[in-house]
Chain A
Amino acid sequence: MCNLFQIVLIGLVVLGAQADEVVVKEIIPSKVESAWLEIDWKTDLWEARKEAARTGKPIYLWEMDGHPLGCV
């Protein structure tokens, strides 16, 4: 049997975990922010070259100082 103190303590722990989850959701990218990842970005130019040769498509290269997919 839990006494009142234990019940309050458990309640505080649960509330704390819920508050953490709320702030985690604030920090991670939203769906709108992640829309650019719907494009199938490759990270290896040579693999892209091979695929372009195989599929008969041109290559689109996004080149940035600091990786475009992960620097910021």
Chain B
Amino acid sequence: MADRLLVFANSEVQKLLKENFVTVAADDWYQRRRKDKVGEYFAKVVDQSPRKGVHTKQGHYIFTAPGKLLGFNNNRGPEKRLAMMKDALSKWDKLSKDERLVDIPEHGKNDQGFYRELPKDGQIVKVYTRCLEERNGRLQKLAENKIGNLSAVDHLWLQHSEVKKLGKLIVSGGGQISGGLSLRIAKFHLRDNTRGEPRDWKKDELKEWSLKVDGKGKVSGNFLISSSDGEMGYEGKIKGSITVDKGRLTRFDFLVLGKHWGYSKHTQGSRLGKTPMGQVFRLSDGKRASDRIPPQGIRWAPGYWNPET
């Protein structure tokens, strides 16, 4: 989050990256574990960096297509990152043509244990989350210059069969949205991810949970989620609308408003007590690469698709 705001929004950094590099972003949790050609290539690069032999491989790497490392940095701040990029470009300029270029074959089968992709005909909903505060009688965002105050993003994935089921429910006059989709939303997407990776909710932490759609596609819901010790929780209401046309979602708008409290291992630094939080769900066409990255909650894929388990 800090990199987004402090480094990659910097105009000089942007110019240098756009003109001189092929830019790629990856989730280290998957990539460092992959036992396939992609994993082998990444490991080759990492083994030339200070991350060799270290559990995490997080950081910023610059390297060639054949796999020669030209720079590594894990500091925040545009100055150090710019220096790293300029140093790497200077090394790049000294390389021979053979050191820069190589024929890249297809990488073969992905390691399915650590690779996730949207199911055939599946659809993507972007989920934005932000901590709010009440000022002048209405809910407003907090100052944007602090990391935990920014809007966080995740993605909800739906299977084609689930969309068709939603369409049938609306046509039949509406009712409770049940089954995997409903629980998936509650367990994996009603979370405070504004300061890092939150843990998933457990099914028995859903003290109250209702999500309905009527015959016109109008959505309403309410929830109370709380850890067993009551130290972390989220309660609120959902409203929105869903439209399904010929088995495809054409609209999936949710507005979730509630109060969140507490934190989990990687989301420390929350505000004290129950404080306002808002979430917006919006259908995505998935055209941008950043729209197609997997949901945070899908690391254990069977649990994401079948959240009853």
Residues of A near any B CB (own CB < 8 A) = 19-20, 22-24, 26-30, 32-33, 35-53, 55-72
Q: A33-B150, A58-B92 are in contact. Are A38 and B31 (CB under 8 A)?
A: no
> Is the Cβ of B151 less than 8 Å from the Cβ of A33?
yes
Residues of B in contact with A, size category: 35 or more
> Is the Cβ of B63 less than 8 Å from the Cβ of A69?
no
Extra 20 A-B pairs, beta carbons < 8 Å, given A26-B132, A36-B7, A58-B63: A28-B128, A30-B151, A35-B9, A36-B3, A41-B23, A42-B22, A42-B23, A42-B24, A43-B292, A44-B289, A50-B65, A59-B21, A61-B24, A61-B26, A63-B28, A66-B27, A67-B27, A69-B290, A72-B195, A72-B196
Please give me the 8 A-B residue pairs with the lowest Cβ-Cβ distance, nearest first. A36-B8, A35-B9, A48-B24, A53-B65, A67-B27, A60-B21, A36-B4, A68-B25
Q: A20-B239, A49-B41, A58-B62 are in contact. Are A32 and B257 (CB under 8 A)?
A: no
Residue of A whose beta carbon sits closest to that of B46: A63
- In angstroms, Cα B22 to Cα A49, docked, is 8
Closest beta carbon of chain A to B95's beta carbon, Å: 9
Q: Which residues of A contact B25 (CB under 8 A)?
A: 41-43, 61-64, 67-69
Q: Which of B24, B56, B62 contacts A41 (CB 8 A)?
A: B24
Closest beta carbon of chain B to A53's beta carbon, Å: 4
Closest beta carbon of chain B to A33's beta carbon, Å: 6
> Is the Cβ of A72 less than 8 Å from the Cβ of B14?
no
Q: Which of A22, A23, A58 contacts B70 (CB 8 A)?
A: A58
Closest beta carbon of chain A to B267's beta carbon, Å: 9
Query: Can you offer 6 A-B residue contacts whose CB atoms are under 8 A?
Result: A23-B257, A27-B151, A27-B280, A61-B26, A67-B26, A69-B153
Q: A36-B4, A66-B27 are in contact. Are A59 and B41 (CB under 8 A)?
A: no
B259: interface (CB < 8 Å): no
> Is the Cβ of B154 less than 8 Å from the Cβ of A70?
yes
> Is the Cβ of B26 less than 8 Å from the Cβ of A62?
yes
Q: A29-B151, A30-B144, A59-B64 are in contact. Are A41 and B193 (CB under 8 A)?
A: no
B-side binding surface: helix, strand, loop or mixed? Answer: mixed
Q: Which residues of B contact A27 (CB under 8 A)?
A: 128-130, 132, 141, 151, 278-280
> Is the Cβ of A70 less than 8 Å from the Cβ of B21?
no
Q: Which residues of B contact A19 (CB under 8 A)?
A: 138
Residue of A whose beta carbon sits closest to that of B85: A60
Q: Which residues of B contact A61 (CB under 8 A)?
A: 24-26, 45, 60-63
Residue of A whose beta carbon sits closest to that of B61: A61
B194: interface (CB < 8 Å): yes
Q: Which residues of B contact A41 (CB under 8 A)?
A: 23-25, 289-290
> Is the Cβ of B8 less than 8 Å from the Cβ of A39?
yes
Closest beta carbon of chain A to B52's beta carbon, Å: 14
CB contact list, B11-32 vs A, under 8 A: 14, 17-18, 20-29, 31
Q: Which of B21, B89, B290 contacts A43 (CB 8 A)?
A: B290
Q: Which residues of A contact B26 (CB under 8 A)?
A: 43, 45, 61-64, 67-68
B57: interface (CB < 8 Å): yes
Q: Which residues of A contact B21 (CB under 8 A)?
A: 57-60
Closest beta carbon of chain B to A45's beta carbon, Å: 5
> Is the Cβ of B42 less than 8 Å from the Cβ of A45?
yes
Closest beta carbon of chain B to A28's beta carbon, Å: 5
B123: interface (CB < 8 Å): no
